[in-house]
Amino acid sequence: SNSNIAVAIDGPAASGKSTVAKTLAKRLGLIMVNTGAMYRAVAWATIQHGVDPADSAAVINLLDRVDFTCGVENNLSTVLVDGVDLGDALRQDAVNSRVSKVAAISEVRELLVSMQRDYLELGSVVMEGRDIGSVVFPNTPFKMYIDASEEVRRKRRAAEGIIDDPTARDKEDSKRKSSPLVIAEGAVVIDSSEMDVEQVVQAALTVLRERGASEELLAKAN
Ligand code: CDP
Ligand code: CDP
């Protein structure tokens, strides 16, 4: 519909997707879209409304009763639940333990995927999640899968002082029927276990260059 591009970044929890996506987007002047926050917003709403996240019918019903609105502020995606930006509340343990359950419901995914695709109307995006290269933007040439060993990922989460078992969520995310976590066809795998953030950003820029991103865009990174 327009010339805006989508850079798709997928991978398991705590591999560094959002940190890398944020840095890359800032450097290139693109909008950074954190899709995990949208799934977290639905999980948060189940807590607020006392809905069992494993009860698909009840969660689907909740989608009609609660307003989820996505936007952009300072080139970063935002998600409002009934008009409220939940911020750090989306990172709490109760959300971590529920989010993979609501994310396995295909009606939840359909709603959020369509909101994610709408971002491309606003500008070029760096979007990070689990199914961006496989489902949301399967035709983009700019796809990467950022990985890191389980040990490194656990350490990265612990270093942030967040209580979370990222690998437990990965198992749930990988085994579900609807859009599981996979390495998308055509995605470049970047193992970041032994890399710092800047090295991963440079690897991502190399992917963009090799896959034909415009000189005008790439010049901004220098
Ligand atoms: O930050 P972290 O990697 O721990 O998680 P996140 O990116 O905020 O995603 C939270 C959860 O949302 C994941 O564990 C998935 O269950 C779900 N998710 C998804 O299913 N599809 C996406 N595109 C993004 C997140
Ligand atoms: O979005 P995702 O859950 O994949 O990871 P994140 O929220 O960006 O968290 C990754 C953490 O590891 C952050 O504290 C980063 O500073 C750190 N880190 C990284 O992202 N990439 C590296 N190559 C090394 C460390």
Whether the Cβ atoms of residue 131 and residue 3 lie closer than 8 Å to each other? no
The sign of the CA dihedral 206, 23, 135, 117 is negative
Residue 57: CB atoms within 10 A of its CB come to 11
Distance 100 CA to ligand 1 centre (A): 7
Beta bridge partners, 147, equal 191
CA–CA distance, 192 with 177 (Å, rounded to integer): 27
**Ligand 1 close to Cβ of residue 99 (< 6 A):** yes
15 lines ligand 2 (CB under 6 A): yes
Strands 68-73 and 76-81: antiparallel
Q: Is the pTM of this model over 0.90?
A: yes
CA distances, 135 to each of 26, 36, 77, 182 (Å): 24, 15, 19, 10
**ipTM metric:** 0.97
Q: pLDDT for 64-90, tens place per residue?
A: 999 999 999 999 999 999 999 999 999
